[in-house]
Chain A
Amino acid sequence: MAGTAVQRRLTWRLADVVGVVAETLRVRTLRLSVPGWPGHLAGQHVDVRLTAEDGYQAVRSYSIASAPDGAEGLELTVERLDDGEVSPYLVDELRVGDQLEMRGPIGGYFVWDAAMGGPLLLVGGGSGICPLMSMLRLRAARSPGVPARLLQSSRSLEDVIYRSELEGLAAGDPELQVIHTLTRRQPPGWAGRRRRIDREMLAEVAWPPRERPLVFVCGPTALVETVAGSLVELGHDPALVRTERFGPTGG
Protein backbone atom coordinates (compact mmCIF):
# COMPACT_ATOMS: atom_id res chain seq x y z
CA MET A 1 0.00 0.00 0.00
CA ALA A 2 2.80 2.38 0.89
CA GLY A 3 4.41 1.86 -2.49
CA THR A 4 1.36 2.72 -4.51
CA ALA A 5 0.77 5.87 -2.54
CA VAL A 6 4.35 7.10 -2.76
CA GLN A 7 5.48 6.03 -6.21
CA ARG A 8 3.23 7.72 -8.66
CA ARG A 9 3.64 10.28 -11.38
CA LEU A 10 1.85 13.41 -10.28
CA THR A 11 -1.02 14.75 -12.31
CA TRP A 12 -3.31 17.68 -11.61
CA ARG A 13 -6.82 16.47 -10.78
CA LEU A 14 -10.13 18.18 -10.21
CA ALA A 15 -11.53 17.58 -6.75
CA ASP A 16 -15.18 18.19 -5.90
CA VAL A 17 -15.89 20.03 -2.67
CA VAL A 18 -18.48 17.84 -0.94
CA GLY A 19 -18.41 19.34 2.53
CA VAL A 20 -17.11 22.25 4.57
CA VAL A 21 -16.78 22.39 8.36
CA ALA A 22 -15.89 25.50 10.35
CA GLU A 23 -13.23 24.46 12.90
CA THR A 24 -12.43 27.88 14.39
CA LEU A 25 -12.93 31.48 13.29
CA ARG A 26 -9.89 31.27 11.03
CA VAL A 27 -9.85 27.60 10.11
CA ARG A 28 -12.06 25.47 7.93
CA THR A 29 -12.03 21.83 6.85
CA LEU A 30 -12.77 21.00 3.22
CA ARG A 31 -14.04 17.51 2.41
CA LEU A 32 -12.95 16.68 -1.13
CA SER A 33 -14.09 13.88 -3.38
CA VAL A 34 -11.44 12.89 -5.90
CA PRO A 35 -12.40 10.30 -8.50
CA GLY A 36 -9.55 7.80 -8.86
CA TRP A 37 -7.79 9.00 -5.70
CA PRO A 38 -4.98 6.46 -5.12
CA GLY A 39 -5.07 6.74 -1.32
CA HIS A 40 -2.54 8.39 0.93
CA LEU A 41 -0.32 7.90 3.96
CA ALA A 42 -0.75 9.79 7.23
CA GLY A 43 1.44 12.90 7.05
CA GLN A 44 1.37 13.40 3.28
CA HIS A 45 0.23 16.61 1.62
CA VAL A 46 -1.27 17.82 -1.63
CA ASP A 47 -0.49 20.82 -3.81
CA VAL A 48 -3.48 23.06 -4.52
CA ARG A 49 -3.41 25.30 -7.60
CA LEU A 50 -5.56 28.38 -8.11
CA THR A 51 -5.71 30.09 -11.50
CA ALA A 52 -6.87 33.70 -11.85
CA GLU A 53 -8.81 34.98 -14.85
CA ASP A 54 -5.64 36.51 -16.27
CA GLY A 55 -3.85 33.14 -16.09
CA TYR A 56 -1.79 33.89 -12.97
CA GLN A 57 -1.35 30.73 -10.95
CA ALA A 58 -0.55 30.20 -7.29
CA VAL A 59 0.35 26.81 -5.81
CA ARG A 60 0.37 26.00 -2.10
CA SER A 61 0.84 22.80 -0.14
CA TYR A 62 -1.74 21.58 2.38
CA SER A 63 -1.42 18.57 4.63
CA ILE A 64 -4.06 15.89 4.45
CA ALA A 65 -5.93 15.78 7.76
CA SER A 66 -8.08 12.71 7.21
CA ALA A 67 -6.77 9.23 7.92
CA PRO A 68 -6.05 6.87 5.08
CA ASP A 69 -9.43 5.15 5.00
CA GLY A 70 -9.83 3.78 1.51
CA ALA A 71 -12.25 6.53 0.51
CA GLU A 72 -11.99 8.28 -2.86
CA GLY A 73 -11.35 11.53 -1.12
CA LEU A 74 -9.65 13.41 1.62
CA GLU A 75 -9.95 16.32 4.02
CA LEU A 76 -7.82 19.45 4.12
CA THR A 77 -7.94 21.78 7.09
CA VAL A 78 -6.91 25.28 6.06
CA GLU A 79 -6.07 28.33 8.16
CA ARG A 80 -6.71 31.77 6.70
CA LEU A 81 -3.52 33.84 6.41
CA ASP A 82 -4.79 37.39 6.12
CA ASP A 83 -2.38 38.45 3.38
CA GLY A 84 -2.28 35.02 1.76
CA GLU A 85 -2.94 34.45 -1.93
CA VAL A 86 -4.68 31.10 -1.61
CA SER A 87 -5.94 30.47 1.92
CA PRO A 88 -8.54 33.31 2.06
CA TYR A 89 -10.22 31.82 -1.01
CA LEU A 90 -10.19 28.31 0.48
CA VAL A 91 -11.49 29.45 3.87
CA ASP A 92 -13.97 32.18 2.89
CA GLU A 93 -15.08 31.67 -0.71
CA LEU A 94 -15.12 28.01 -1.67
CA ARG A 95 -18.55 26.35 -1.48
CA VAL A 96 -19.92 22.82 -1.63
CA GLY A 97 -20.27 21.95 -5.32
CA ASP A 98 -17.19 23.95 -6.36
CA GLN A 99 -14.14 22.26 -7.82
CA LEU A 100 -10.53 22.60 -6.83
CA GLU A 101 -7.40 21.74 -8.80
CA MET A 102 -4.91 19.62 -6.84
CA ARG A 103 -2.25 16.94 -7.13
CA GLY A 104 -0.93 14.37 -4.73
CA PRO A 105 -0.42 12.63 -2.45
CA ILE A 106 3.10 13.99 -1.92
CA GLY A 107 5.78 13.07 0.58
CA GLY A 108 7.43 10.03 2.11
CA TYR A 109 9.60 11.59 4.81
CA PHE A 110 7.04 13.15 7.15
CA VAL A 111 4.92 10.01 7.22
CA TRP A 112 3.79 7.58 9.91
CA ASP A 113 2.06 4.30 9.46
CA ALA A 114 0.96 1.75 12.00
CA ALA A 115 3.85 -0.61 11.20
CA MET A 116 6.33 2.01 12.49
CA GLY A 117 4.87 1.67 16.00
CA GLY A 118 5.82 4.08 18.75
CA PRO A 119 5.89 5.60 21.23
CA LEU A 120 4.68 8.48 19.14
CA LEU A 121 5.34 12.08 20.16
CA LEU A 122 3.47 14.62 18.05
CA VAL A 123 4.17 18.33 18.47
CA GLY A 124 2.07 20.86 16.60
CA GLY A 125 1.66 24.60 16.34
CA GLY A 126 -1.63 26.03 15.05
CA SER A 127 -2.69 24.36 11.84
CA GLY A 128 0.49 22.26 12.03
CA ILE A 129 -1.78 19.79 13.75
CA CYS A 130 -3.30 18.72 10.41
CA PRO A 131 -0.85 15.96 9.39
CA LEU A 132 -0.57 14.95 13.07
CA MET A 133 -4.36 14.54 13.17
CA SER A 134 -4.18 12.20 10.20
CA MET A 135 -1.69 10.12 12.21
CA LEU A 136 -3.88 10.17 15.34
CA ARG A 137 -6.96 9.18 13.35
CA LEU A 138 -5.05 6.34 11.70
CA ARG A 139 -3.70 5.21 15.06
CA ALA A 140 -7.20 5.22 16.59
CA ALA A 141 -8.51 3.10 13.72
CA ARG A 142 -5.65 0.65 13.31
CA SER A 143 -3.35 0.54 16.32
CA PRO A 144 -4.80 2.21 19.42
CA GLY A 145 -2.30 0.36 21.59
CA VAL A 146 0.60 2.50 20.38
CA PRO A 147 1.43 5.00 23.15
CA ALA A 148 1.00 8.53 21.82
CA ARG A 149 1.27 12.06 23.14
CA LEU A 150 0.20 15.21 21.35
CA LEU A 151 1.59 18.54 22.50
CA GLN A 152 -0.39 21.24 20.72
CA SER A 153 0.35 24.95 20.88
CA SER A 154 -2.54 27.32 20.15
CA ARG A 155 -3.13 31.01 20.75
CA SER A 156 -6.29 30.48 22.81
CA LEU A 157 -8.80 27.77 23.61
CA GLU A 158 -11.04 29.03 20.78
CA ASP A 159 -8.14 28.57 18.37
CA VAL A 160 -7.62 24.88 19.20
CA ILE A 161 -8.38 22.95 16.02
CA TYR A 162 -10.26 19.63 16.48
CA ARG A 163 -10.67 20.34 20.20
CA SER A 164 -13.75 18.20 20.79
CA GLU A 165 -12.53 15.34 18.61
CA LEU A 166 -9.23 15.31 20.50
CA GLU A 167 -11.09 15.25 23.81
CA GLY A 168 -13.14 12.32 22.57
CA LEU A 169 -10.12 10.39 21.34
CA ALA A 170 -8.21 10.87 24.59
CA ALA A 171 -11.20 10.15 26.87
CA GLY A 172 -11.56 6.60 25.67
CA ASP A 173 -7.88 5.79 25.28
CA PRO A 174 -5.43 5.37 28.19
CA GLU A 175 -2.50 5.23 25.75
CA LEU A 176 -3.21 8.68 24.31
CA GLN A 177 -2.41 11.93 26.10
CA VAL A 178 -3.35 15.33 24.66
CA ILE A 179 -1.55 18.31 26.16
CA HIS A 180 -2.47 21.87 25.20
CA THR A 181 -0.50 25.03 25.71
CA LEU A 182 -2.28 28.36 25.17
CA THR A 183 0.19 31.09 24.32
CA ARG A 184 -1.83 34.30 24.13
CA ARG A 185 -5.04 34.00 26.07
CA GLN A 186 -6.30 31.49 28.61
CA PRO A 187 -9.84 31.01 29.89
CA PRO A 188 -10.54 31.77 33.57
CA GLY A 189 -9.33 28.92 35.75
CA TRP A 190 -7.07 27.44 33.05
CA ALA A 191 -4.73 25.10 34.88
CA GLY A 192 -2.79 24.01 31.82
CA ARG A 193 0.32 25.34 30.19
CA ARG A 194 0.38 28.94 29.03
CA ARG A 195 3.59 29.67 27.17
CA ARG A 196 5.32 28.84 23.94
CA ILE A 197 6.81 25.38 23.74
CA ASP A 198 10.34 25.35 25.14
CA ARG A 199 12.92 22.84 26.24
CA GLU A 200 11.59 22.61 29.78
CA MET A 201 8.09 21.83 28.54
CA LEU A 202 9.42 19.19 26.16
CA ALA A 203 11.42 17.59 28.97
CA GLU A 204 8.19 17.25 30.96
CA VAL A 205 6.03 16.00 28.12
CA ALA A 206 8.34 13.79 26.06
CA TRP A 207 9.36 10.25 26.84
CA PRO A 208 13.01 10.03 27.87
CA PRO A 209 15.39 9.62 24.93
CA ARG A 210 16.23 6.04 25.92
CA GLU A 211 12.67 5.04 25.00
CA ARG A 212 13.37 6.29 21.48
CA PRO A 213 10.03 7.92 20.69
CA LEU A 214 9.24 8.66 17.06
CA VAL A 215 8.76 12.42 16.90
CA PHE A 216 6.81 14.41 14.34
CA VAL A 217 6.88 18.21 14.60
CA CYS A 218 4.77 20.45 12.35
CA GLY A 219 4.10 24.17 12.55
CA PRO A 220 5.56 27.55 11.75
CA THR A 221 9.31 27.55 11.16
CA ALA A 222 10.27 29.16 14.47
CA LEU A 223 8.28 26.63 16.51
CA VAL A 224 9.57 23.65 14.54
CA GLU A 225 13.19 24.70 14.91
CA THR A 226 12.84 25.41 18.63
CA VAL A 227 11.23 22.04 19.24
CA ALA A 228 13.60 20.00 17.08
CA GLY A 229 16.67 21.75 18.49
CA SER A 230 15.49 21.32 22.08
CA LEU A 231 14.74 17.63 21.63
CA VAL A 232 18.22 17.01 20.26
CA GLU A 233 19.71 18.96 23.19
CA LEU A 234 17.69 16.74 25.51
CA GLY A 235 19.37 13.71 23.96
CA HIS A 236 16.89 12.53 21.35
CA ASP A 237 18.33 10.96 18.22
CA PRO A 238 18.01 13.53 15.38
CA ALA A 239 17.14 10.68 13.01
CA LEU A 240 13.94 10.06 15.00
CA VAL A 241 12.82 13.71 14.93
CA ARG A 242 10.97 14.44 11.70
CA THR A 243 9.96 17.99 10.95
CA GLU A 244 7.71 19.86 8.56
CA ARG A 245 7.76 23.65 8.47
CA PHE A 246 5.06 25.73 6.92
CA GLY A 247 5.01 29.33 5.91
CA PRO A 248 3.26 31.83 3.68
CA THR A 249 5.16 30.77 0.55
CA GLY A 250 4.79 27.03 1.10
CA GLY A 251 4.55 24.86 -1.96
Chain B
Amino acid sequence: MDETQLRLDGNAAGGFLQEILAQDATSMRIRCHGCGSVAQVGAQPLYMYPGSPGAVLRCRACECILMVVVRGPGRLRIGLPGVTWLELPEPSDVR
Protein backbone atom coordinates (compact mmCIF):
# COMPACT_ATOMS: atom_id res chain seq x y z
CA MET B 1 0.00 0.00 0.00
CA ASP B 2 1.21 3.48 -0.84
CA GLU B 3 2.27 5.15 2.43
CA THR B 4 0.62 8.41 1.39
CA GLN B 5 -2.78 6.76 1.61
CA LEU B 6 -2.25 6.12 5.31
CA ARG B 7 -2.06 9.83 6.04
CA LEU B 8 -5.57 11.09 6.69
CA ASP B 9 -6.52 14.02 8.90
CA GLY B 10 -8.18 14.75 12.22
CA ASN B 11 -11.62 14.52 10.60
CA ALA B 12 -11.21 10.74 10.45
CA ALA B 13 -10.79 10.68 14.25
CA GLY B 14 -13.92 12.77 14.78
CA GLY B 15 -16.00 9.76 15.84
CA PHE B 16 -13.84 8.42 18.59
CA LEU B 17 -12.77 11.85 19.84
CA GLN B 18 -16.44 12.70 20.19
CA GLU B 19 -16.85 9.55 22.31
CA ILE B 20 -14.37 11.03 24.76
CA LEU B 21 -15.25 14.72 24.62
CA ALA B 22 -19.01 14.42 24.00
CA GLN B 23 -18.81 17.13 21.36
CA ASP B 24 -17.16 17.71 18.03
CA ALA B 25 -13.37 17.79 18.25
CA THR B 26 -12.50 18.46 14.61
CA SER B 27 -13.25 22.17 14.92
CA MET B 28 -11.31 22.57 18.19
CA ARG B 29 -8.01 24.43 18.09
CA ILE B 30 -4.98 22.56 19.33
CA ARG B 31 -1.51 23.94 20.17
CA CYS B 32 1.62 21.93 19.46
CA HIS B 33 3.98 21.76 22.42
CA GLY B 34 6.92 21.21 20.10
CA CYS B 35 6.69 24.23 17.80
CA GLY B 36 3.86 26.31 19.22
CA SER B 37 1.74 26.33 16.10
CA VAL B 38 -2.04 26.35 16.45
CA ALA B 39 -4.54 24.74 14.07
CA GLN B 40 -7.88 22.99 14.17
CA VAL B 41 -7.82 19.25 14.85
CA GLY B 42 -9.46 18.56 11.48
CA ALA B 43 -6.53 20.24 9.72
CA GLN B 44 -3.83 18.08 11.34
CA PRO B 45 -2.49 14.92 9.70
CA LEU B 46 -3.67 11.66 11.23
CA TYR B 47 -1.94 8.33 10.65
CA MET B 48 -3.99 5.15 10.74
CA TYR B 49 -2.52 1.78 9.82
CA PRO B 50 -4.64 -1.11 8.54
CA GLY B 51 -5.70 -3.41 11.34
CA SER B 52 -4.15 -1.27 14.05
CA PRO B 53 -6.26 -0.41 17.11
CA GLY B 54 -5.57 3.30 17.07
CA ALA B 55 -4.33 6.41 15.38
CA VAL B 56 -1.68 9.10 15.75
CA LEU B 57 -2.39 12.81 15.24
CA ARG B 58 0.66 14.85 14.27
CA CYS B 59 1.38 18.56 14.05
CA ARG B 60 1.06 19.75 10.45
CA ALA B 61 3.89 22.23 10.94
CA CYS B 62 6.60 20.16 12.69
CA GLU B 63 5.24 16.58 12.46
CA CYS B 64 5.67 15.92 16.18
CA ILE B 65 3.12 13.66 17.83
CA LEU B 66 0.20 15.59 19.28
CA MET B 67 -2.19 12.86 20.28
CA VAL B 68 -2.40 9.06 20.31
CA VAL B 69 -5.72 7.24 20.55
CA VAL B 70 -5.78 3.49 21.16
CA ARG B 71 -8.78 1.23 21.56
CA GLY B 72 -8.56 -1.89 23.71
CA PRO B 73 -11.21 -4.35 24.84
CA GLY B 74 -13.79 -2.25 26.67
CA ARG B 75 -11.65 0.86 26.87
CA LEU B 76 -10.31 3.80 24.92
CA ARG B 77 -7.00 5.42 25.84
CA ILE B 78 -6.02 8.91 24.77
CA GLY B 79 -2.45 10.17 25.07
CA LEU B 80 -1.60 13.84 24.61
CA PRO B 81 2.21 13.86 24.54
CA GLY B 82 2.58 16.92 22.34
CA VAL B 83 -0.40 19.08 23.25
CA THR B 84 -0.01 22.35 25.15
CA TRP B 85 -3.73 22.93 25.08
CA LEU B 86 -6.95 21.93 23.38
CA GLU B 87 -9.63 24.59 23.19
CA LEU B 88 -13.22 23.54 23.82
CA PRO B 89 -16.09 25.86 22.98
CA GLU B 90 -18.49 26.84 25.74
CA PRO B 91 -21.59 24.65 25.51
CA SER B 92 -23.73 27.67 24.59
CA ASP B 93 -21.37 28.66 21.79
CA VAL B 94 -20.69 25.49 19.86
CA ARG B 95 -18.94 26.10 16.52
- Interface pair B15/A248, CB less than 8 Å apart: no
With A59-B15, A103-B15, A249-B48 as contacts: A221 and B94 at CB distance below 8 Å? no
Residues of B within 8 A of A244 (CB): 9, 11, 42
- CB within 8 Å: A-B pair count: 100
Asked if A245 is at the interface of the complex by the 8 Å CB criterion, the answer is yes
- Interface pair A109/B5, CB less than 8 Å apart: no
Binds B, one of A3-11, A170-178, A190-198: A3-11
Main secondary structure of the interface of A (DSSP, over half): mixed
Residues of A within 8 A of B43 (CB): 109, 242-243
Binds A, one of B20-28, B62-70, B79-87: B20-28
- Interface pair B15/A61, CB less than 8 Å apart: yes
Q: Interface digits, A218-235 against B, CB 8 Å rule (1 contact, 0 not)? A: 001110000000000000
- Interface pair A248/B5, CB less than 8 Å apart: yes
With A45-B14, A221-B7, A245-B8 as contacts: A6 and B23 at CB distance below 8 Å? yes
In Å, the complex CA distance between A248 and B49 comes to 9
Asked if B75 is at the interface of the complex by the 8 Å CB criterion, the answer is no
In Å, the complex CA distance between A190 and B4 comes to 31
Asked if A108 is at the interface of the complex by the 8 Å CB criterion, the answer is yes
In Å, the complex CA distance between A13 and B12 comes to 19
Given A45, A108, A250, which contacts B95 in the complex, CB threshold below 8 Å?
A108
Chain A residue with Cβ nearest B93: A3
Chain B residue with Cβ nearest A246: B8
A–B Cβ pairs within 8 angstroms, 5 of them: A106-B24, A109-B43, A111-B27, A222-B4, A249-B50
Interface residues of B (CB under 8 A from A): 1, 4-12, 14-15, 18-19, 22-24, 26-27, 40-43, 48-50, 91, 94-95
